[in-house]
Structure 1
Amino acid sequence: MITPLPIGDFRFIALDVETACGDSASICQIGLACVRADHSIETWSTLVDPQMPFAPFNIDLHGIGPHTVRHAPNFAGIWPDLLPLLARRPLVQHSRFDEHAINAACRAHGLPRSKLAWNNSVTIARAAWPELRGKGGHGLGNLKTVLNLDFRHHDAEEDARAAAQVVLRAEQHLGASAAEIAPVLAPFQLSLPL
């Protein structure tokens, strides 16, 4: 059983996953950061039993192992609850890894691939801070330093919140809404006053 999902009207939801091994389908944690019109962020996360072996590298990276997910539901047990929330809002990921992992997990569990509106906070960060190219880049680790973000890297809930903060900071920096910065968000009418 997962903790209750956030409810309300959100502008967008940032999503991040952690995986157990090199297989993209091996999701062991899902984190969300739901952004409201007033720019407040409500976070949520759950552990997931990947039903695959954990690689030592991944355990060292995020600290999640077989003992951590022992009583957690698998992806197929979580996805039907998550999908209605995610399908109604634009999603933000930091890189394309999270979208690939969700699609791989759907395939691995025999679930239909969902049509979700994904955007990439890396793309948004590149539009806002092009000067970072070649100077540490637009990864969350470098943006943490440059934007003075406070989060614990490689925790899905924390990384989702950081991706949401990157979008909000880019909106503020450029004086434009996320929909204007990243056209895939436009169908969701995110052009809100800053």
Structure 2
Amino acid sequence: MTDALPHGDFRFIALDVETSCGDSASICQIGLACVGLDRSIQTWSAFVDPLMPFAPFNVELHGISAKTVENAPTFAEIWPKLQVLLTRHAIVQHSRFDEHAINAACKAHGLYQPRLSWSNSVTIARTAWPGLKGNGGHGLANLKQHLSLEFQHHDAGEDARAAALVVLRAEVELSKPFEQITSNNTAFQLSFSF
């Protein structure tokens, strides 16, 4: 099915998803980057059968097709284990797309979504590197260049790791831990249930 999820306690978990089409619920890959107390990063990713068609634009963007997810679990099969891990940690996303996709997938599959604590690494990056505004911006592609990050863009595991690295670099840049950075910025709670 999928590799075992990371286990233990983490400072925060960065999460990224890829979708098969324009429908936010069409998650076809989920990636996590779990940041330990020692700043180490454990990454995990899994393909997901979105039970929806694949749009040519999306396939070209991330390279995931219907054939790639042929024997993959559905979101409904993978979410129960994921939520156990995610509810115990602060979650980082790069923009709010991932939060919207998780919400949409929960709704589409009729699943309960527990309270999750989301932070946005775009806002964290804006605080740490304000000079990038109007100079390429704070998207992962530009941050990759500016911070000399190495990752494969539009792979959920790699993008999650990149978001985690952005936060870790911002901690150094701002001389503040993640908890202080997010308390001043975009840590927000979300509750959604059926």
TM-score strictly above 0.5? yes
The separation in 2 between residues aligned to 1:126 and 1:111, in whole angstroms, is 34
Residue 94 of structure 1 and its aligned partner are, at CA, apart by 0.1
RMSD of aligned Cα (Å): 1.3
Structure number with the higher strand fraction is: 2
User: Per the alignment, in what secondary structure is the counterpart of residue 59 of structure 1?
Assistant: helix
1:56 equivalent in structure 2 = 56
Could you say what secondary structure the match of 2:78 adopts? helix
Deviates more, 1:2-11 or 1:20-29: 2-11
Kindly provide the amino acid, as one letter, of the partner of residue 21 in structure 2. C
- Indicate the residue corresponding to 2:192 in structure 1: none
Looking at structure 2, the residues matched to 73 and 139 of structure 1 have their Cα atoms a distance apart, in angstroms, of 30
Query: CA-to-partner distance for each residue in 1:56-86, whole Å, 9 max, x for gaps?
Result: 0000000000000000010000000100100
Q: Distance in 2 between matches of 1:21 and 1:142?
A: 24
List gaps (5 residues or longer) in structure 2: 190-194
Give yes or no for the alignment of 1:36 onto 2:36: yes
Taking every aligned residue pair, what percent have the same amino acid on both sides? 67
Q: CA deviation at 1:180?
A: 1.1
* Aligned 8 A contact 2:11 2:35 in 1: yes
Moved over 6 A (4+): none
State the Cα distance separating 1:186 from its structure 2 match.
10
- DSSP 3-state at the match of 2:114: coil
**Tell me, what secondary structure is at the counterpart of 2:33?**
strand
Whole-Å Cα distance in 2 between the matches of residues 142 and 86 of structure 1? 28
Asked if 1:96 is matched to 2:96, the reply is yes
Which amino acid counterpart does residue 104 of structure 1 have in structure 2? Answer: A
SS of 1:51's equivalent in the other structure is coil
**Deviation of residue 185 (structure 1)?**
5.4
User: What TM-score does the superposition give when structure 2 sets the normalisation length?
Assistant: 0.94
Whether contact under 8 Å (1:178, 1:185) holds in the other structure is no
TM-score (norm 1): 0.94
Alpha-carbon distance between aligned partners in 2 of 1:186 and 1:39, rounded to the nearest angstrom: 23
